[in-house]
Structure 1
Amino acid sequence: MSDSQPIVLGLDVGTQSLRAALVDLSGKTLAYGVEPIETTYPRPAWAEQQPQDWWTAAKSATRKALASSGIDPSRVAAIGLDCTACTVVACTMDGEPLRPSLLWMDQRAHVEANEISATGDPVLKYVSGRVSPEWMLPKALWLKRNEPETFDRAERLVECTDWMMHRLTGEWTLSLNHLAVKWNYARPDGGWPLAMIAAVGLQDLPAKWPQTILPLGKPAGGLCARAAEELGLKPGTLVAQGGIDAYLGMLGLGATGDGDVALIVGSSTCHLAQTREGVFGSGAAGCCPDATVEGLYTIEAGQTATGSILDWYRRHFAAREQAEAEAKGVNVYSILDEKAAAVPPGSDGVVVREDWQGNRSPYKNPHARGAIVGLSLSHGPGHVFRALYEATAMGTRDILADCSRHGLSVERVFIGGGGAKSPLWLQIHADVLQKPIHLTREGESCALGSAMCAAVAAGIYKDFDEAAGAMVAIERVVEPDPKNAAVYDDLFAQYVDLYHRLNDEA
């Protein structure tokens, strides 16, 4: 590659860290910078982050990537951005936060979500009739009721993506991607659901939202001078309109064909599929028009906690494995995977429900909680850790089975995100789903998707399909082991039954 060829920068603001990826026009990552982001949990089912931490991480990660690559910042043609959703920020007009953000996984607004769902507004058809407590309207209503001074002072009530776009460009925009998926905004029905907003007493909320709405990947402006200086980039560098991390991850996996399903496996798992026809009535989070590509629907479902459960186990129960990993100079998850791989499929009778932070799909039950059952004195850490892996894969199977009953045809499954780094977790997914798993060359699909948005915004590629053809490469396919099908069919039945028993729905 020529030292003068343009490159693009993808900023991926995840739950646990921010990644800055310098990517060439063939989709190859030239350099990464990574910085951690801290989450606090003030009460059960609550989760918060400090917005300033995102920007601090962006500055450090971008400069790390530039320094390690030796790339001249003037070669960066455009910047793309993806963030968690729906992470709500209450701030002043100049972006000064008034309180910690309500992280996407925060479930405190479950009462408000039920009230909004109870309106029965026609727009709710796009979200299977129910609003999640993770979304904008419930969280805004919770703030208005429980922190009225903060709500009244807030000149902007926006998301992480909007706040970061403001830091990058100095301008306020809203992402159509976020609005269609998390804000109950539906273009086919006229846009904003103003009647529903007024019905729950939020008629003063739209005034706190920016007026400019941009589709994913459209040019949003140039990098402002202050941001350029702090990031180490050239002022005026084009910034593409950002969006939801998982949706950018879907683009980064190249899962854009009919029947393609993308699993973005990180702290949570997000399931995404594109379709020309709406798939309604399932337990999916939604079937959202114009969410990714204008003119298409994106079906979204998800598990609130997957990788975060593994991290929970590591932090609280893996001290011995951590010491062993440090002694060997390896990652602790490699030790945990070794122990889990030594356990047979089905974990010798240990069954887990992964609802540590509620159930997003297919039951939409924020009150659901995790469980580990079937333990005996013969079980050890390997059994529990493998059972956690199996539970997360079972959750995906439950979601896809539900969507399939409502018309979705699953042909190919792609996996990206941090979960794609574990060969054992990938094989368990293939065996549980009884489907091949397609893996791309670039493991950080969200960052690559952001880079693809930057390339499209800069006019390097005309659309996401062309960008995917140039920048996404399938590296290998993990085939399911047919010997494990019967074991996992039986475990799946136990897994589903356990949900109903725990939630008094037997």
Structure 2
Amino acid sequence: MTTYLGIDVGTSSVKAVLIDGNQNVIAEASSPVEVLRPRPMWSEQNPEGWWIAAQEAVAHVREVAPQDFLELEAIGLSGQQHSATLLDRHGCVLRPAILWNDGRCGRECAELLERVPDFLTRAFNTTMPGFTAPKLLWVARHEPEIFKETAKVLLPKDYLRFRLSGAFVSDMSDSAGTLWLNIARRTWDEVLLEGGGMTLSQMPDLVEGSEISTYLSRDVASMWGLGDRRVPIAGGGGDNASSAVGIGAVGMGDGFLSLGTSGVLFVSTDRLVSLPERTLHGFCHALPQRWHGMVVALSAASALSWLGALLGQGHDIAGLIRGAETFAADPERRRSAPIFLPYLTGERTPHNDPNATARFDGLRAEHDSAALAYAVLEGVAFALADGLDVLKAADAAPSSCMLVGGGSRSAFWNGLLADVLAISLDLPEGAEIGAAFGAARLGMVAAGAGTIDDVCKKPAIRARFNPDPEKLPLLAIRRNHYLKMYPS
């Protein structure tokens, strides 16, 4: 029985999933990674931590399914986007990776627009502190010796690929988030590179996500008990594009809502969509001749984790959500609940403001932890509604939408999201696996185990959440209040 391994380098953990040729999950595991915040607005990780966590996750998969692992036919990779991993000419890491939710380089974003006058039409996206290109300008300004030594810049999953194979390769979907790619032509753009002080030689090679990028090195194959087998590694994809592959969101109008550390609304397209002035992300998909539109709220499930830690309930997030559900069952209490602006780490869509801050409005003495939890869940939903408005403006709203990510475990939150967004949301089987499962699917296609249409089918739907018309008037009033909070 042939098997396929998907590995996802996330912000909070590295996940691994082993599937068989019928896409049944045989084993899965995750290993945590630490986020470093040495200064306000900074967010970094040690790339060695990704490698260690990946080894731990794969070791657990091997332990659970030793015989199945020996039948490994291909590997697919996925990972958090934008995070800059700097290597010297020997392949050694020069500094901690600067992550996607780091907000330090607002000045450099403005500088990129000045250096490349046609930046928006050339990159099809605006500059944002989370993207890769401004991070390198920041390093050039503040750490010139490190910048001078930088021979390669890799994204997290591509650093893992380097450790697995020794090759410097990326895919189109992940590279689209660097602001160095011509997304229409799916090639590096030398004008954009030059504007950021970079060169083509510092970039990895490019392949489509469903193509073979390289092969597992003999050393790693031996370490994993695979002998001298030549195991291909697919190009893979950024975490959101990989999640889309995992749930079959690969056709025109297929979309998903991801509730992870950040919140994402994603829609697959057969053309490049662009609306940079509204901070729409117009990127390549992880599959050939396909693109996607994406909007991002930087704090989603992480906002609830933050509240749980603040209240001393970080060990019982499910209990916090149950409290919010009980609170919301009373319309009068819900009407007078505080309103939460969820900009704990700044915001992308629609404000592109790393300095934006979170706050509760309307707090009163009678409000307890349940009221705060409800406000956080609702505030994240409002932030995602802002993103849906942007997709609608770009004529790229999803015609169908599935739920993925750890936050999708909550039926109450899923229903609230459907009410706020006023669209039906489908919860598929295996929604929590997400990007790692999609990466394994990309490995299948790369290995020739089936066509894209054969492999990337939609899963069975576990539950559907339809908007409740009776709740819409009150939510509209509360969202109108929410929309006034950021400008004020």
Could you state the TM-score of these two structures normalised by the residue count of structure 2? 0.93
> Mapping of 1:468-479 within 5 angstroms?
468-469=456-457, 472-479=459-466
Residue matched to 1:148: 144
After superposition, the C-alpha distances for 1:285-342 in whole angstroms (9 at most, x for unaligned) are: 4223x433322331121111212222222222234x74xxxxxxxxx12211111111
1:447 equivalenced with 2:442 (yes/no): no
How far has the Cα of 1:374 moved from its partner? 0.8
How far has the Cα of 1:236 moved from its partner? 2.1
How far has the Cα of 1:178 moved from its partner? 1.9
After superposition, the C-alpha distances for 1:96-125 in whole angstroms (9 at most, x for unaligned) are: 211111111111111101211234543523
Asked whether the equivalents of residues 184 and 272 of structure 2 are also in contact (C-alpha less than 8 Å), the reply is no
How far has the Cα of 1:277 moved from its partner? 3.8
Change (3 A) 1:118 1:474: farther
Identity of aligned residues (%): 25
**In structure 2, how many angstroms separate the alpha carbons of the residues matched to 1:270 and 1:209?**
27
Asked whether the equivalents of residues 47 and 106 of structure 1 are also in contact (C-alpha less than 8 Å), the reply is yes
Tell me the amino acid that sits aligned with residue 131 of structure 2: W
**In structure 1, how many angstroms separate the alpha carbons of the residues matched to 2:344 and 2:338?**
17
**In structure 1, how many angstroms separate the alpha carbons of the residues matched to 2:179 and 2:423?**
33
**In structure 2, how many angstroms separate the alpha carbons of the residues matched to 1:452 and 1:163?**
20
Asked whether the equivalents of residues 82 and 178 of structure 2 are also in contact (C-alpha less than 8 Å), the reply is yes
**In structure 2, how many angstroms separate the alpha carbons of the residues matched to 1:55 and 1:109?**
27
**In structure 1, how many angstroms separate the alpha carbons of the residues matched to 2:11 and 2:324?**
25
Residue matched to 1:504: none
Asked whether the equivalents of residues 153 and 203 of structure 2 are also in contact (C-alpha less than 8 Å), the reply is yes
**In structure 1, how many angstroms separate the alpha carbons of the residues matched to 2:464 and 2:131?**
35
**In structure 2, how many angstroms separate the alpha carbons of the residues matched to 1:130 and 1:142?**
17
Asked whether the equivalents of residues 107 and 366 of structure 1 are also in contact (C-alpha less than 8 Å), the reply is yes
> Mapping of 1:288-303 within 5 angstroms?
288=283, 290-303=284-297
**In structure 1, how many angstroms separate the alpha carbons of the residues matched to 2:279 and 2:97?**
25
User: Root-mean-square deviation (CA), in Å?
Assistant: 2.0
**In structure 2, how many angstroms separate the alpha carbons of the residues matched to 1:190 and 1:450?**
20
How far has the Cα of 1:205 moved from its partner? 3.8
Alignment counterpart, residue 480 of structure 1, candidates 467, 478, 484: 467
1:394 equivalenced with 2:382 (yes/no): yes
Asked whether the equivalents of residues 284 and 403 of structure 1 are also in contact (C-alpha less than 8 Å), the reply is no
**In structure 2, how many angstroms separate the alpha carbons of the residues matched to 1:70 and 1:124?**
50
Aligned length: 481
Asked whether the equivalents of residues 128 and 283 of structure 1 are also in contact (C-alpha less than 8 Å), the reply is no
For structure 1, which segment, 219-228 or 105-114, has the greater mean C-alpha deviation from structure 2 after superposition? 219-228
**In structure 2, how many angstroms separate the alpha carbons of the residues matched to 1:37 and 1:214?**
28
How far has the Cα of 1:139 moved from its partner? 0.5
Find the residue that maps to 1:382 and give its secondary structure. Answer: helix
Alignment counterpart, residue 246 of structure 2, candidates 238, 252, 261: 252
1:228 equivalenced with 2:228 (yes/no): no
User: Which structure 2 segments of 5+ residues have no match?
Assistant: none
Residue matched to 1:217: 210
Asked whether the equivalents of residues 128 and 284 of structure 1 are also in contact (C-alpha less than 8 Å), the reply is no
1:283 equivalenced with 2:278 (yes/no): yes
How far has the Cα of 1:250 moved from its partner? 1.1
Find the residue that maps to 2:306 and give its secondary structure. Answer: helix
Residue matched to 1:461: 450
Asked whether the equivalents of residues 350 and 383 of structure 1 are also in contact (C-alpha less than 8 Å), the reply is yes
Residue matched to 1:71: 67
Residue matched to 2:336: 348
For structure 1, which segment, 150-159 or 41-50, has the greater mean C-alpha deviation from structure 2 after superposition? 150-159
**In structure 1, how many angstroms separate the alpha carbons of the residues matched to 2:10 and 2:397?**
29
Asked whether the equivalents of residues 266 and 293 of structure 2 are also in contact (C-alpha less than 8 Å), the reply is yes
How far has the Cα of 1:36 moved from its partner? 0.6
After superposition, the C-alpha distances for 1:191-242 in whole angstroms (9 at most, x for unaligned) are: 3333344345x0x4433223x2111121112211222244454542221112
Tell me the amino acid that sits aligned with residue 368 of structure 1: A
Residue matched to 1:183: 179
